[in-house]
A and B are shown apart, each in its own frame.
Chain A
Amino acid sequence: MTTTVLPRVNYLNVKHTVASWLLTKDHKRIGIMYLIVVSLAFLIGGIFAALIRVELTTPLGDLVSDDTYNKLFTMHGVAMVFFVLIPAVPAILGNFALPLMIGAKDVAFPKINLLSWYIFVIGFLFTIAAGILGGVDTGWTFYTPYSSVYSNSNVLLTGIGIFIAGFSSILTGLNFMVTIHRMRAPGMTWFRLPLFIWALYATSLVQILGTPVIAITVLMLAVERALGFGFFDPRLGGDPVLFQHLFWFYSHPAVYIMILPPMGAISEVIACFSRKSIFGYSFVAFSSLAIAVFGFLVWAHHLFVSGISPYSAMVFSFLSFAVAIPSAIKTFNWTATMYRGAIWWQAPMMWVFGFMGLFLIGGLTGLFLAALGLDVHLHDTYFVVAHFHYIMVGGAIMGYFAGLHYWWPKMTGKMYSNSAATLAALLVFVGFNLTFFPQFIVGYLGMPRRYHAYADEFQVLNVLSSAGASIMGVGYTLIACYLLYSFFKGKDAGPNPWRAVGLEWETQSPPIPENFTEQPIVTAAPYGYETRESNVG
């Protein structure tokens, strides 16, 4: 590359006023604004988790009362699910990278993109207000009739917060879907799209079809609680299980809103750091769509002990097994991509290895829970808690950090310390396993979830769990430290520090406000690492 002086104007320094950020329509700045709010939510949710783990170091409920404990795990769940896991990869990394990766100047609707950030923040503020005014204690699942009639906590305010934040997710999904359909650069055909884009497309499908259902469900709950309408009220002949159906019709597919985009990021990182094209590109692409579609057909596996008919339970059990197939296809293809690749041991790849190990365990233990008989034993025990944390933290959060470490040099133009990042990945991986693997055992032995006290014989495993959580906490704190340090003091990364293939790496770092100086034209399939490597020599 010739050393012509790059225009040093970029999307970060083009304007400095606060208003230039708060009124920006630039997808890259909006991505950064999401990063700030989501990180704050992650910190808040993490503090709740820490308090939970401290309480559980002893069998007695001695640190907090049972009421307070109920509020802690509820607000931990609400903060992490609705304000971290769902927006993390689409709204932060997707917003930043999607237009760059398809060679567009912006998303299709930049104003709506900004609007969805504001909606998200307003929803977040409502939820925080609910926390400050005394919290909410229903569990993040808000099951009726406890939530609609009996709970004396801020169900209404939290519900409104989630309702509002849902529209942010819907609008992001809508925006991405239209962007992928209509904003691709010339020559960027569907089968030249990077797999991250396929994953975001599948995710927007879930956001568009699922999120409105949770919105109306929460609205029905709110109206029932506030005005005394009867939708789920058993005193009138209403059915609380209907609430569970409607809730999980969204909330199971929501798992795919959380996991599909990180899977997309994983595909990008694996290709780059194995210096190989993704093995079975179209299988990985279509498995995203398959997960999005079939993910809508398995929700009742959360209701196996809620009194649904055994015949429907059998069908849902079978479908829940079946939905594991596309995830397995992805895992096999990633492994095959790494096989005989020239693996480059850089920080983003460390997070990928962590993801592969943890997601595998999370996925396989999901099969235990999909089995009807075993689920009766394991339902509402710590086994379930461990399983979904392996998927949501071990899968989604590890994938998010893989993506964040991969695109960070592009987002900020700065490089972080590779050894610090490797250490953080290791700490989180070890800490995570130490936290959650004992929970599989303690759950299998019969410790129920959502109690602040437990039988004495479970203490050893719980102490291990709490110790692991503190290691994880150190890992996450370390990430915040070296990323912030690199942002202010880091070395310049240059346009393409990973020698990666993809349109986002062909513009400067950080990119100019319009992304590209010239409209890019695509002439080849993604991940041409083999040809590029042979060129480099």
Chain B
Amino acid sequence: MADGLVAHVDSHEHGEAHHPDLQHHFETLGQQHEAATLGMWVFLVTEVMFFGGLLMAYLLYRVWYPEAWAEGSLELDIVLGGFNTVVLIGSSLTMALAVRAAQTGLPKATVRWLLLTMALGLTFLVVKFFEYKHKWDLNHIPGENFTFEGPHAPQVEIFISLYFALTGLHALHMVIGFGILSVITWMAHRKRFTPEWSTPVELSGLYWHFVDIVWIFLFPLLYLVDRVHQLN
């Protein structure tokens, strides 16, 4: 046991202990990386449960009020929504390329891909803003001033409430992601990331992909409820 102890302390002293980004309570960079990655995945699980509560409400009311869901869905702009879907999928690609660049030690490329990712994210938010603005102009904001012509107006209000809650929470996650990427870009610019240690880029990549995936679910759930009737 004493031998084991000595050997262990030894490897700590001569190993990666002096890496500036190794926090004191971890033994190795590998352990630190694994802990951070697991932490991020667990965090994403909590996010799934967070959106899950709203999706449960969506599911219940969609089963109860299919006509209202179809009516409400037709109010959404499928072109803008589709455009935003493409933009976000594109941003996932650029994010993945940024992570790859950081892992292979290419700081300039990392910064470039990160900036592009942020530009696409911003595009999404601007488009979303105009979609919201349009709803505002039509008095389609739930609450006292909500006006809607149609046979299922009250239930459409529930649909629109869920639309704002889901897309609003998603947009909030985009804004937070934008903030995180700004910091990461600055760090990349300062050449903080090396093939040995690029954990923050990888973790913000995980977060960004998660936010994209949420949208991949939201788009069909909200925009494509009953478009077949529109085509006929």
Q: In the assembled complex, how far is the CB of residue B58 from the closest CB belonging to chain A, in whole angstroms?
A: 10
Q: A216-B50, A220-B53, A518-B5 are in contact. Are A174 and B39 (CB under 8 A)?
A: yes
Residues of chain B with a CB closer than 8 A to A519's CB: 5, 8-9, 12, 27
Cα A209 to Cα B53 in complex, Å, equals 11
Chain A nearest CB from B191 CB (Å) reads 24
Q: Please give the distance in Å from A38's CB to the nearest CB on chain B.
A: 23
Q: Return the 3 tightest CB-CB contacts between A and B, nearest first.
A: A228-B143, A216-B53, A212-B50
Report A242-286 CB contacts with B as 1/0, cut-off 8 Å.
Answer: 100110000000000000000000000000000000000000000
A92 to B119, alpha carbons, bound, how many Å? 44
- Looking at the complex, which of A106-114, A356-364, A388-396 is the stretch in contact with chain B? A106-114
Contact stretch, chosen from A127-135, A231-239, A303-311: A231-239
A212 pairs with B53, CB closer than 8 A: yes
The answer, yes or no, to whether A104 is at the interface (CB within 8 Å) is yes
Q: How far is the CA of A519 from the CA of B11 in the complex (A)?
A: 12
Closest to B56 in A: A246
1/0 per position for B23-65, CB-CB distance to A under 8 A?
1110100010011001100110111011111101100110011
Q: At the interface, yes or no: A158 with Cβ under 8 Å from chain B? A: no
Q: Are A212 and B25 in contact (CB under 8 A)?
A: no
Q: Which among A175, A216, A223 has the greatest number of chain B C-beta atoms within 10 A?
A: A216
**Chain B residue nearest in CB terms to A245:** B56
B165 within 8 A of A: yes
How far apart are B206's CB and chain A's nearest CB, in angstroms? 14
Task: Looking at the assembled complex, report how far the CB atom of A188 sits from the nearest CB atom of chain B, in whole angstroms.
Answer: 13
One of B39, B52, B57, B162 near A108 (C-beta < 8 A): B39
B188 at interface by CB-CB < 8 Å: no
* Interface-located stretch among A178-186, A323-331, A378-386: A178-186
Chain B contact residues, CB within 8 Å of chain A: 1, 4-5, 8-9, 12, 23-25, 27, 31, 34-35, 38-39, 42-43, 45-47, 49-54, 56-57, 60-61, 64-65, 68, 142-144, 146, 154-155, 157-158, 161-162, 164-165
Q: A216 near B155 (CB under 8 angstroms)?
A: no
Query: Interface residues of A, CB < 8 Å — how many?
Result: 46
Main secondary structure of the interface of B (DSSP, over half): helix
Instruction: Report Cα–Cα, A110/B56, bound state, in Å.
Output: 34
CB of A470 within 8 Å of the partner chain: no
Interface status of A213 (Cβ within 8 A of chain B): yes
Given A231-B161, A521-B5, also A183-B35 (CB < 8 A): yes
Q: Which chain A residues border B43 with CB–CB below 8 Å?
A: 174
CB-CB contacts below 8 Å: A503-524 with B: 518-519, 521, 523
A521 with B4: CB separation less than 8 A: yes
16 A-B pairs whose Cβ atoms sit less than 8 Å apart in the complex: A105-B24, A177-B38, A178-B38, A208-B42, A216-B51, A223-B165, A224-B161, A229-B143, A229-B161, A230-B158, A237-B158, A239-B61, A245-B56, A246-B56, A519-B9, A519-B27
Dominant SS at the A interface?
helix
B4 and A213 within 8 A (CB): no
Cβ < 8 Å to B, chain A residues 171-201: 174-175, 177-179, 181-183, 186
With A105-B25, A229-B161, A242-B57 already in contact, the answer to whether A213 and B52 are too (CB < 8 A) is yes
A170 contacts the other chain (Cβ, under 8 Å)? yes
Query: CB-CB < 8 A to A19: which residues of B?
Result: none
Q: Which of A108, A181, A183, A208 contacts B46 (CB 8 A)?
A: A208
The CA-CA distance from A523 to B61 in the complex, in Å, is: 56
The complex places the Cα of A236 from the Cα of B68 at a distance, in Å, of 11
B142 and A181 contacting across the interface, CB-CB below 8 Å: no
B155: nearest chain-A partner, CB-CB: A237
CB distance from A516 to the nearest CB of B (A): 11
Query: B158: which of A109, A217, A238 is its contact (CB, 8 Å)?
Result: A238
Is A209 touching B143 in the complex (CB atoms < 8 A)?
no
Asked whether A212 lies within 8 Å of B47 as measured between CB atoms, the reply is yes
Which residue of chain A has the shortest Cβ distance to B68 in the bound complex?
A237
Contacts of A105 in B (CB 8 A): 24-25
Asked if A100 is at the interface (CB within 8 A of a chain B CB), the reply is no
Q: Mark A81-120, 1 if CB is under 8 A from B, else 0.
A: 0000000000000000000000011101110000000000
Query: Which chain A residues lie closer than 8 Å to B64 at the CB level?
Result: 237, 239
- Whether the pair B9, A518 counts as a contact (CB closer than 8 A) is yes
For B144, the chain A residues whose CB sits under 8 A away are: 228
Smallest CB-CB separation from B9: which chain A residue? A519
Output the nearest chain B residue to A235 by Cβ-Cβ distance. Answer: B154
Q: Evaluate whether A230 and B161 lie within 8 angstroms (CB atoms) in the complex, with A181-B38, A182-B35, A246-B56 already known.
A: yes
* B residues near A208, Cβ cutoff 8 Å: 42, 45-46, 49
